[in-house]
Structure 1
Amino acid sequence: MSKKAAPSKESNRHLSSKESTLFKELLTLYETKQLKKGLKTADQILKKYPEHGETLCMKGLVLVHMGRREEGIELVRKGVRLDLTSHIVWHVFGLIQKGEKKYEDALKSYTQALRFDKENMNLLRDVSQLQTQLRLYDGLVETRHMLLRLRPTVRQHWIALAVAYHLSGSLAEAKNVMVEYEKTLKNVPHYDVEHSETLLYHVRVLEELGQTSEALSLLDVSAKDRTIVDKTAIMEIRARLLSKLGSDEAEHAWKVLIEHNPECYDYYKGYMSNQGLNVDDKTTATKALSILREFSTQFPKANVPRRLSLSLASTTGGEGEDNFHDLARTYLLSGLTKGIPSLFVDVKSLYKDEDKLQSLQDIAEGILKEFTPDPSSSPPPSSSTEPTSYLWTLYFLAQHYSYLPSTRQSALPPRNSNNTHADFDPNCTPVAHGPSNIAGDFYSASRAMEDARLLDGQDRFLNTKSAKYRMRAGLVDEASALLGMFTKKDAPSPGADLEDMQSLFYLLEEGDAHQRAGRLNLALKRYTAVQKVFDDFEDDQYDFHGYSLRKFTINVYINMLDWEDNLRSHPGYVKAALAASRIYVEVYDDPKLASGASDGGSTDAEKKAKKKAKKAQKEKEDAAKKAAATAAPTSTNEDKGLEVPFKDEDPDGMKLLSSPDPLERAHKFLQPLTTLPQPQKNIEVWLAVYDVAIRRGKRLQAVQALSRARALDAENPELHVRIIHAKYSASKISSPLPPPAGPVFTETLNALLPPDVSLETYNSQYLQRHSSSARAIWASAQASHVLGAPLQEVEEAVFSVLGQGVKLDVETALDISSYLKKIKSTRVDELNKAFDDRFPISTAFQTSEELAKLREWCLTSGHGKDGDLKQGDATAGAGVTENEAELGTTIESGAGSGNGNSVKS
């Protein structure tokens, strides 16, 4: 009896007429989200054809949507193995991979599917979106060409091809596509928004090509025919094009825009640029000020021309309308009498000029004297000034003095016998105490902010600020409790809800607080959460690749892609990346830090935090499982059910901290920063890149990073330490790098420090050049430690920062104290005592017993008042507003640099 031949792949795919009909029904049921019926239909087919790969894949896809993810993925994998030549199995596999954010793998699966079904529209659309997401623009052009050839009557495909050419840099081809597209149009109605957007995009392409006259002609014709409906865009583009052409009409066009919106900075800058003036060029300031004065007269309520005048005016000019002092006094007086809270934020950019800074201070102090009520007059004399103007002036000066550099500090009041500072007298103004940048009294700052919060317990801004200051004082749990008043009631914890809401302020502040307390695992957990937020930002753009083209919002879409390409330049990501990389470097240098952070070596606060994190995660997972089991999918987006549900496998951050590849993780954090223009200007980025690269054995990359850092600031103290470290490390290497990297490495290193100069001499010369800088002295001590100097010698070098004439601030003192702890010095307490005497208002250098008392004193503020609200009790809703431009304020008013000990109050 002859044996039966093994079934082929084709025979495995073949279904009888009945099952073929069922399979088509299965596809329809999936597309319409009738998942239970789809599952039954799939089981009917598999009952007769258990190895039908396409049905197995579809059943797996349905199971994934129903929440049975692992079971579903296993079926999909089995289906792919059973039928490698089916476009359906590869399409389903690509959907699964896309849901897991594995875009490169998904693109490979879609490409495989296209091999067996080259004209599948759904596949081609998905491939085009993946290519855009991955910035594979050459492949995108080919895919868009294919879609246009298959459906030439669909307007979207024409525009999509033009955009693909645009993104790939082929503007001439994009123009040709737009011209051909417009030839196909007939009977376009007036006020067609989609057509209007395509015409504006056509004008944009022509402008970027440099064909300004043609762009202006198209704009004017389209505006006259009413085919472009965005009147503001017409005016803006027309003014810009006329200026590029040097037309006499340009001046009038910019004036029309200014009349349209006198509060737009860009319109004034465009007008002056058309006049050959630059608002940043002081040589043309006189003419620019004259123009701005005319606009101020024409638009007396407009704020922008008066503010621009402050940037251009000189403090050395004579008396008159264009003198900075006169202009600034009028500007400040107007803001203070109106009670504008953002007045200081508005003018602080002027502080780059020392003369303007001093002038603004003198003006504000003078206004304060005018507004100060006379206690001797009863009843007080009548005045047109509102009583609140006095308070707004005090508020402005408080911000002013807080922002001033520490080199401008004056005498500060000492602490009283209770280790707290003397209460301010109601008539005692900030002027009496003089400016201070960082007082170093974090507990008093926190208590003061809490007292302010209690004046209005329902105000989210005040609650957020109070929580921020509590974190800076190390009161993380108490800060979380405050934030919990405005998070969701059903959230596992305030922190979990804030993380879901992508609150960068919270993640960064708590990360810094944990880092200062030595809880590196929890700090790393927060910084990694920031990284995840930006990963989500990148993933979120995926849906817009199709949506924007369908809705013809082309110009905004291209702007979004540009923004996404520079996403990691955001200060929040830069700060988190630098902090996380420093932690990973610390752990690599001292692996005991990872093991020392285990439960056995944890503080009570850390153990409590871990327990809370695990409990919150368990509650979150239980809630997710319950929701998945009871709720039927209602989304019409076929990919929503494919998204991987988040499951935190490391709630306390211990797996992150004890990672076997800390340097690779640090490199992943820093890599985006080295390719973006803005972070490349940050010297801390290149110093961090060096720290990671030299430990990874990437010596050439390391010295190139130092070379980039030196180009930014050749005398930077941290750079000095690393140059010595690089040279010293190179002298200890027995095997030089082979060509071609070897000669480049040697040449770059010798450019940083000539070989004929000894390291000790170089270090000594640097110290002589910067003998009055505390950070330079500390850097010299660190360099001595790198060169193997005895600990006692390094300690003596560090203590020299206390010498007369050395400029020392609280931030630097905190960093130096942490450094002595790091090198296991026995003189840390002695140094802290000296710092405590040096900074009488500061409490940062006190003993643990004294700090415990201060902590207790800080927490007594508002005890038993409305500050004891529980999570969700506030009526302002769920979610904390990210105040003060979120990151900008956090960085300027509180997030220090270095090892994380620098905190501004």
Structure 2
Amino acid sequence: MPPPTLAQKDKKLFADLLTQYENKQLSKGRKTADQILKKYPDHGETMCMKGLILVHLGLRDEGINLVKEGMRKDLSSHICWHVWALIQKSERKYEDALKSYVQALKFDKDNFNILRDTAVLQTQTRQFEGLVETRHNLLRLRPFNRHHWVGLAVAYQLNGNLAEAKQILEYLEGFLRNVGSYDVEFSELLMYHIRILEDMGNFQLALDMLDSNDRDKGGSILDRTTGTEMKVRLLAKLKESHVDDEKKAAWTEQADVTWRWLLSQNADCYEYYKGLLANEGIDLANVTDENRERALGILRTFFNVKPATAPRRLALDVTTGQDFIELIKPYLTNALSKGIPSLFADLKPLYRDLTKRQVIEDTVEELRTTYASSSPPAGNSVEPTTYLWTLYLLAQHHSFLGRHKQALEILDIAIAHTPTLPELYMVRARVLKRAGDPYGAAKAMDTARLLDGQDRFVNTKTGKYLLRAGMPDKADAIFSLFTKKDTTAAADLEEMQALHYLVEQGDSYRQAGKLNLALKKYYVIQKVFDSFREDQYEFHQYSVRKTILNVYTEMLKWEDNVRSHPSFIHAAVATVQIWVALYDDSTLGPSLQPSDAASETSKKALNKAKKAAHKGQPEADGANSKKGESTRRSVTFALSSLRSRLLSAVTATQSEDRGLEPPRRRDEDPEGLKLVLDKDPLECADKYLAGLTELVPRSLDVCFATYDVAVRRKKYLQAVKMLIRARLLDPEHPDLHVRIAHLRNTVSSLPEPLPAPIGPVLAESITSLLPEQVSLELFNSQYLQKHSSSPMAVLAHAKVAQISKAPQEEVETILFTVLKQPVELDHKAAFSVLSYLKDMKSSRAEEFRIACNDRFELSTLFKSAEEIATLQRWVAEQEESQGDDRESPETDV
């Protein structure tokens, strides 16, 4: 049945409804819609508009149902499709919203608002070919608005058609010649045009345009520093693309002058020095004996121009032998006298050269002896702090080289000298962490925090170390000192998208065996990166309108690769490993569920707290003052949350997007218990890995995680592809060795060979990894012979032996060989071996633990469960001894 046609008077009423919605007169609009529907109850457009208004008024479910009903009444209305697109867009369903906008355009192809929103969604979903067409239509409707010209140029660039983008920009600039002398948007437009020319390879044309628009010559480019950086970049590309020696010499001279001007503006910019040297044909990353003296000569010209550190530091990279000895001592002396805590981080890249590393150690030891002398040479007296920072540097040096005992001895001397310097305890924490003592490290870091309660950085590091020590509750208490007081530290840090916290919290729960809570934290990290994608939506229209084009296009490139961030990769791999473990052991998920008794106790405690909060008093069973304070905080938090919800409802009509956003859903699985009971964990893992292998093709962790999922899903070609890629990255990696054996064993154990074409291709691929004539036993023994000193290789050898159905006693014997020579065992590898013995349920795990505990004196990783509990109480004592009346840091949060 066709939709009812409104009478002329009612059409005017419907037009009023649209105007009332646009002006945010929602209550009036609702009454107008009811007035129309009373007469035309099946009018789909009015039903959709009323539904949209209801969504804005907070009646989301009722409104969406009404919009759907209106859609069914009139599928040929652009208004219905537009309303439905707005609803989908508010739910972040961008692809679906775009389809609805396309449907709306079929019935009203020249609707400006729909075209504008379509262009934004096409950019968001990277459908650039359709974006060009939409931008053309917008320009056709509004040809005298320069932003539509700019939008079309950007669309052409994103679609890869730089020639058309250049033509549009030239035409646009042609009728913008009479802009003011200080027009920021026109300046940005010119810079964008030059960037397009650069991307096209028209370096000379780009350089000419840059020079002709120079501000000093009366041009319109206002950002002189960015323009100058672009100029030297273009000169470098011109030199690379031409063979004319005369032109190259001219460009080299011009670039030299330009680089020196940049250095006069910022004498500590390392990139400027690298560019200046590169202009002279010197690559700082690969200095040769032939150009070493010339590079040092250029850097020396800047030594005394300004008190800049950069040229002196770069000279240390360039020099060797006696020149390095002559330069390193004044550099160290100057930095130590100033008390620069980051000096070691500055010097650490030099440690790749063993000779330079030894020179640094000898020089610092010499300075230590000089500064420690009670009667230094005449005229060479130093401040006591200089001696202190020398000890600080020396401790970091020994810790980095694995000399943990030596580093701790030096720190004891430094702490005795100045016991109130937080940095000393922070380094002590780092030394203990590297030595395998997470509990002593947490204690030392907390001591540093107590020396400066106002320092947010030390507070964060303390929480981080407590998480690594398996004390998440204490960590949250520390974090809460710098988070909002009306919410929990965990909730506030999640809202702030603190990736370092989320990663460490997830790892802490995983290490403790709380896989459900670990999954929750890792999934929060995924949500954070999803929000990065959503946040860019607002910039598509804004950046074009404000002509912020170079930064905007760079942002789009960044967004396309944001999931290659180490935090996301870490969370993705850890999540997949948990899902695989849940698949391999079907009893693992149910074992994480709380018992009925514990669940009932939890419910009773919750009901009791609610009653106490309702009465505004502590629990009736003689609760102490701390519990009463906790209850009062709960009530305050509840009132604050109610106030926030009311404010949200009041302001909901102030913005279309804000009013359409769905309310934050209540977390129905706060403990992650439903996650670990998912019926298809491999499917969950596969979704998490989607696209990562293409985004980070050089990550071994992603290759191995993808293999683990693929081989269990019987996607053998994908599995072998991952192993082939991993072999190209690191052919001797222990985990690769194990998985090659695992794949050979899995495929050979299939009841029937795989049919063509998969079977022959798979067999050929496996043969390329492990020749058919080589048995698993031979393959395994050859690997161990090649890596006999590596403890992780021994562990891999044991895993393959277990895959080959070797007796458990034999596997245990192999693992115990890591305690003998020539294996170079460290505490991390030893802990991995111990974990594997426990996974095997080996009766010799305790024997191995005791042997490692005796061997690694500084490490606490191999203590018994009782000893670890005692250590955790020891760490907690320091925090508890401060009392609940400790003042919170005075800081604006």
Residue 699 of structure 1: CA displacement?
Answer: 0.8
CA contact (8 A) 2:583 2:682 kept: yes
Match of 1:307 in 2: 313
Deviation string, structure 1 residues 716-747 (Cα, Å, up to 9, x no partner): 11111111111111111234444444333222
CA contact (8 A) 2:3 2:42 kept: no
Residue 710 of structure 1: CA displacement?
Answer: 0.8
Deviation string, structure 1 residues 134-190 (Cα, Å, up to 9, x no partner): 111111111111111221111111111111111111111111111122223242211
Distance 1:122 1:394 in 2: 67
Distance 1:129 1:601 in 2: 52
1:359 aligns with 2:366: no
Question: Counterpart amino acid of 1:426?
Answer: A
Match of 1:733 in 2: 750
Match of 1:293 in 2: 299
Residue 108 of structure 1: CA displacement?
Answer: 0.7
Distance 2:130 2:636 in 1: 45
CA contact (8 A) 2:850 2:862 kept: yes
Residues 601/628 of structure 1: CA separation in 2 closer, same or farther (3 Å cut): closer
1:218 aligns with 2:235: no
Residue 625 of structure 1: CA displacement?
Answer: 6.4
How does 1:454-603 map onto structure 2 within 5 Å?
A: 454-491=450-487, 493-600=488-595
Secondary structure of the 2:650 match is coil
How does 1:282-681 map onto structure 2 within 5 Å?
A: 282-283=287-288, 285-287=291-293, 289-314=295-320, 317=321, 319-320=322-323, 323=324, 325-372=325-372, 374=374, 384-404=381-401, 406=402, 426=416, 438-491=434-487, 493-600=488-595, 627-629=644-646, 631-633=649-651, 637-647=655-665, 648-676=667-695, 679-681=696-698
Question: Counterpart amino acid of 1:386?
Answer: E
Residue 620 of structure 1: CA displacement?
Answer: 8.3
Question: Counterpart amino acid of 1:63?
Answer: L
> More displaced, 635-644 or 704-713?
635-644
1:182 aligns with 2:173: yes
Residue 874 of structure 1: CA displacement?
Answer: 2.5
Question: Counterpart amino acid of 1:696?
Answer: R
CA contact (8 A) 1:86 1:113 kept: yes
How does 1:198-237 map onto structure 2 within 5 Å?
A: 198-223=189-214, 224-237=217-230
> More displaced, 46-55 or 392-401?
392-401
Distance 1:639 1:799 in 2: 63
CA contact (8 A) 1:585 1:663 kept: yes
Question: Counterpart amino acid of 1:525?
Answer: K
Secondary structure of the 1:454 match is helix
**Number of equivalenced pairs:** 844
Secondary structure of the 1:296 match is coil
> More displaced, 772-781 or 661-670?
661-670
Deviation string, structure 1 residues 566-598 (Cα, Å, up to 9, x no partner): 101111111111111111111111121111111
Deviation string, structure 1 residues 397-420 (Cα, Å, up to 9, x no partner): 33333333x5x6678999xxxxxx
Residues 738/169 of structure 1: CA separation in 2 closer, same or farther (3 Å cut): farther
CA contact (8 A) 1:721 1:782 kept: yes
1:851 aligns with 2:856: no
CA contact (8 A) 2:87 2:660 kept: yes
Residue 45 of structure 1: CA displacement?
Answer: 2.3
1:281 aligns with 2:281: no
CA contact (8 A) 1:412 1:433 kept: no
Deviation string, structure 1 residues 441-479 (Cα, Å, up to 9, x no partner): 211111111111111222212211111111111111011
Task: Select 1:794's aligned residue among 793, 808, 811.
Answer: 811
Distance 2:634 2:450 in 1: 32
Distance 2:206 2:121 in 1: 32
Match of 1:903 in 2: none
Task: Select 2:825's aligned residue among 808, 825, 836.
Answer: 808
Match of 1:266 in 2: 271
Residue 510 of structure 1: CA displacement?
Answer: 0.8
Residue 282 of structure 1: CA displacement?
Answer: 2.4
Task: Select 1:148's aligned residue among 131, 139, 142.
Answer: 139
How does 1:681-696 map onto structure 2 within 5 Å?
A: 681-696=698-713
Question: Counterpart amino acid of 2:651?
Answer: P
Deviation string, structure 1 residues 822-864 (Cα, Å, up to 9, x no partner): 2222222111111101111111111111112212111112544
Distance 1:601 1:270 in 2: 68
Distance 2:583 2:45 in 1: 49
Task: Select 1:744's aligned residue among 753, 761, 764.
Answer: 761
CA contact (8 A) 1:402 1:436 kept: no
Distance 2:837 2:304 in 1: 62
Residues 24/656 of structure 1: CA separation in 2 closer, same or farther (3 Å cut): same
Distance 2:853 2:494 in 1: 37
Residue 396 of structure 1: CA displacement?
Answer: 2.7
Distance 1:434 1:264 in 2: 30
CA contact (8 A) 1:413 1:840 kept: no
Residues 570/643 of structure 1: CA separation in 2 closer, same or farther (3 Å cut): same
Secondary structure of the 1:874 match is coil
Residues 649/91 of structure 1: CA separation in 2 closer, same or farther (3 Å cut): same
Distance 2:578 2:460 in 1: 27
Distance 2:536 2:786 in 1: 51
Task: Select 1:31's aligned residue among 13, 22, 25.
Answer: 22
Deviation string, structure 1 residues 104-130 (Cα, Å, up to 9, x no partner): 111111111111010111111111111
> More displaced, 277-286 or 163-172?
277-286
Distance 1:448 1:623 in 2: 37
Distance 1:622 1:595 in 2: 37
Distance 2:654 2:260 in 1: 48
Question: Counterpart amino acid of 1:126?
Answer: D
Distance 1:434 1:533 in 2: 29
TM-score (norm. length: structure 2): 0.89
Greater relative CO (CA pairs within 8 A, separation 6+): 1
Secondary structure of the 2:213 match is helix
Question: Counterpart amino acid of 2:466?
Answer: R
Residues 289/327 of structure 1: CA separation in 2 closer, same or farther (3 Å cut): farther
Match of 2:626 in 1: none
> More displaced, 689-698 or 435-444?
435-444
Secondary structure of the 2:656 match is coil
> More displaced, 663-672 or 519-528?
663-672
Residue 9 of structure 1: CA displacement?
Answer: 2.6
Task: Select 1:104's aligned residue among 74, 78, 95.
Answer: 95
* Aligned alpha-carbon RMSD (Å): 3.1
Unaligned runs of 5+ in 1: 1-7, 415-420, 879-905
Question: Counterpart amino acid of 2:303?
Answer: T
Match of 2:110 in 1: 119
CA contact (8 A) 2:82 2:100 kept: yes
Secondary structure of the 1:297 match is coil
Task: Select 2:726's aligned residue among 709, 725, 736.
Answer: 709
Identity, % of aligned pairs?
49
CA contact (8 A) 1:147 1:157 kept: yes
CA contact (8 A) 1:514 1:520 kept: yes
Distance 2:722 2:643 in 1: 51
Distance 1:598 1:585 in 2: 18
Residues 192/736 of structure 1: CA separation in 2 closer, same or farther (3 Å cut): farther
Match of 1:772 in 2: 789
Residues 180/425 of structure 1: CA separation in 2 closer, same or farther (3 Å cut): closer
Match of 2:623 in 1: none
CA contact (8 A) 1:454 1:866 kept: no
Deviation string, structure 1 residues 316-371 (Cα, Å, up to 9, x no partner): x3x23xx2x33333333322221222222223233333333333333333333333
Distance 1:810 1:330 in 2: 38
